[in-house]
Structure 1
Amino acid sequence: MTQRKMDGFLEAGNRQSLLDFKPAHFAWAQQGAVGVITLNRPERKNPLTFDSYAELRDLFRKLCFVDEVRAIVVQGAGGNFCSGGDVHEIIGPLTKMSMPDLLAFTRMTGDLVKAMRACPQPVLAAIDGVCAGAGAIMAMASDLRVGTARSKTAFLFTRVGLAGCDMGACAILPRIVGQGRASDLLYSGRSLGGEEGLSWGFLNRLAEPEALLQETVGWAQQIAEGPSFGHAMTKKMLHQEWAMGVDEAIESEAQAQAICMMTQDFHRAYEAFVSKERPEFKGD
């Protein structure tokens, strides 16, 4: 994909590539304009570690400067999404940490959610099997979720003696499924099955396990073919308007839409409509 050009003094630090990106703690692949993150410790149902938390956070932060990737898919290897924080590599050490170190850790995990919400690319989670703890949070923090009938999503923090208010769960989950349903999941720590997750609106779609990745990547590719600047603005507004009143939201959307009307993608769409052709969006 050809990146658009900027003036030289703007290019440095504002445009980066992931074509040579080789993470140490998860797998990364690019399928056209779609980046695929694979949590790949299947023998342990893909738990997170201190290192993988940090590397994921840094990747999502970097995506703010990457034009060649227009959508992200997150999946787990081996029939499970993610079992949460590794019991031996995270939970055990946490019981021996000081308060300042514990706060540094919980802030780091929260920063992963902040980075997922701040990156301009829509993030799609492909959820199969176990999706628990921090894995459930990553699914929640994604923009769209495709599950399977056998997927089991559990915000199980209270089951290990913690609060359900982890990594933004009390703010984000009620906005997806409603306050009452979020309370059910966060107090009980029970598993939300695939069919129930779809009916509740936590999952956007269901797929057969063997077709999950293909269908999720296919959806991501459809999104990637759209106006990436417009999608990034939509994501930003969806996030920022949580803290706005209706009047402020309408004004913010007026400004956002006026900005989008200055893009070449908007002009391409008009010209394609007049010519009865399909527009080719380039993100500028």
Structure 2
Amino acid sequence: MTPHESTTTATHAGSEAGNGADDVLLVADADGVRTLTLNRPEAYNSLTVELKERLLTALRDAAADDDVRAVLLTGAGKAFCAGQDLKEHVGMLRSGDEAPLRTVAEHYNPIVTTIVDMPKPVIAAVNGAAAGAGAALAYASDLRIAGTSASFAMAFAGVGLGPDSGASWTLQRLVGYGRAVELMMLGRKLDSAEALRSGLVGEVVPDDELAARAHAVAATLAAGPTRAYAKIKSTVAAASGSTLAEALAAENVAQTELGGTSDHREAVEAFVEKRRPKFTGK
């Protein structure tokens, strides 16, 4: 099932009926963390229309649910996500179905936008291969923790396509413009050690420790000042394409808003009283 069933876990009520072993997306809650597990291990969690639509709905549900304070994205089996399911894709192309030509606008763009705009942290636990759109899902996340068997590849050029799923925007912010173009044109696979050296991931752990470590990080964030995290995400994203003056103005607006939150007041009081703050996300 999910990576953390040893913890006290409540299955998300909206997914309970469909959260069986044959469900393409598993959803579980524990410690304020909603774990979304891509569950097509026999196909390396490649993305069919069904899985893309389920993932988009689940991400939107998580964004809107105040009880969810962090989101953890991972894959079942030996891969994180191999990207687009090319068997389904080529079948549609052969039949003259134009759905594959719409999937970027209908699925990948809103999925990545929802991850990036999520008002709470999103952590990708990358187990095994992450390729194409699958790698882009990890790039769009706020934190990436990889198992030692993890690998990353921009496979788009190999099938005669350019990047999608936000990879043109996210990857260069992680590794720089020149490296991003190189990885996209050559399609070279990075193993977990090189991904760590290049800044693509923040941490690499043994495969058998990945689920527990990723959940621990997500749970720590879930217990933190989530409104502040949301502002960190939005101000940093905006600053990447703004002038210094615009960034300073955005920081001022964010700090003014956050200064009036219960979490800020609680943190200040806790500091003075020499105790740990208890954040509520308010």
TM over 0.5: yes
Task: Give the equivalent residue in structure 2 for 1:105.
Answer: 103
Shift in Å at residue 96 of structure 1? Answer: 4.5
| CA gap 1:136/1:91 in 2 versus in 1, 3 angstroms | farther
CA distances 1:236-278 after superposition (whole Å, capped 9, x unpaired): 2122223311110111011101100000111111111111110
Q: TM-score, normalised by structure 1?
A: 0.89
Shift in Å at residue 88 of structure 1? Answer: 1.6
Shift in Å at residue 44 of structure 1? Answer: 1.4
Task: State the distance in 1 between where 2:89 and 2:101 align.
Answer: 14
The answer for unaligned runs of 5 or more in structure 1 is 1-17
Task: Give the equivalent residue in structure 2 for 1:237.
Answer: 235
Task: State the distance in 2 between where 1:242 and 1:216 align.
Answer: 27
Q: TM-score, normalised by structure 2?
A: 0.89
Q: 2:181 matched to 1:188?
A: no
Contact 2:120 2:227 in 1 (8 A): no
Q: 2:193 matched to 1:200?
A: no
Contact 1:81 1:135 in 2 (8 A): yes
Aligned residue pairs: how many?
Answer: 266
Query: Which of 3, 14, 38 pairs up with 1:21?
Result: 14
Task: State the distance in 1 between where 2:208 and 2:90 align.
Answer: 32
Secondary structure of the residue aligned to 2:34 is strand
Structure 2: which amino acid aligns with 1:143? Answer: D
Query: Which of 254, 257, 261 pairs up with 2:255?
Result: 257
| CA gap 1:74/1:178 in 2 versus in 1, 3 angstroms | same
Secondary structure of the residue aligned to 2:137 is helix
Contact 1:124 1:143 in 2 (8 A): yes
Contact 1:80 1:129 in 2 (8 A): yes
Shift in Å at residue 98 of structure 1? Answer: 6.1
Task: Give the equivalent residue in structure 1 for 2:76.
Answer: 77
CA distances 1:25-51 after superposition (whole Å, capped 9, x unpaired): 300111120111111111111111111
Structure 2: which amino acid aligns with 1:20? Answer: A
Secondary structure of the residue aligned to 2:46 is coil
Task: Give the equivalent residue in structure 2 for 1:134.
Answer: 133
Q: 2:31 matched to 1:32?
A: yes
Task: Give the equivalent residue in structure 2 for 1:226.
Answer: 224
Task: State the distance in 1 between where 2:69 and 2:90 align.
Answer: 35
The answer for unaligned runs of 5 or more in structure 2 is 1-10
Shift in Å at residue 181 of structure 1? Answer: 1.1
Task: Give the equivalent residue in structure 1 for 2:274.
Answer: 276
| CA gap 1:278/1:195 in 2 versus in 1, 3 angstroms | same
Moved more, 202-211 or 23-32: 23-32
Shift in Å at residue 152 of structure 1? Answer: 1.3
Task: Give the equivalent residue in structure 2 for 1:43.
Answer: 42
Identity of aligned residues (%): 35
Q: RMSD of the TM alignment (CA)?
A: 1.7
Secondary structure of the residue aligned to 1:259 is helix
| CA gap 1:123/1:81 in 2 versus in 1, 3 angstroms | same
Contact 2:115 2:122 in 1 (8 A): yes
Query: Which of 253, 264, 277 pairs up with 1:266?
Result: 264
CA distances 1:169-220 after superposition (whole Å, capped 9, x unpaired): 1121101111111111100112111000000000100010000010011011
Task: Give the equivalent residue in structure 2 for 1:8.
Answer: none
| CA gap 1:95/1:154 in 2 versus in 1, 3 angstroms | farther
CA distances 1:28-82 after superposition (whole Å, capped 9, x unpaired): 1111201111111111111111111122112222333211111111111112111
Task: State the distance in 1 between where 2:30 and 2:83 align.
Answer: 27
CA distances 1:154-180 after superposition (whole Å, capped 9, x unpaired): 1100001112x2122112110111111
Task: Give the equivalent residue in structure 1 for 2:157.
Answer: 158
Secondary structure of the residue aligned to 1:81 is strand
Task: State the distance in 2 between where 1:74 and 1:64 align.
Answer: 13
Contact 1:85 1:91 in 2 (8 A): no
Contact 2:34 2:62 in 1 (8 A): no
Secondary structure of the residue aligned to 2:73 is strand
Contact 2:24 2:40 in 1 (8 A): no
Secondary structure of the residue aligned to 1:185 is helix
Task: State the distance in 2 between where 1:208 and 1:224 align.
Answer: 23
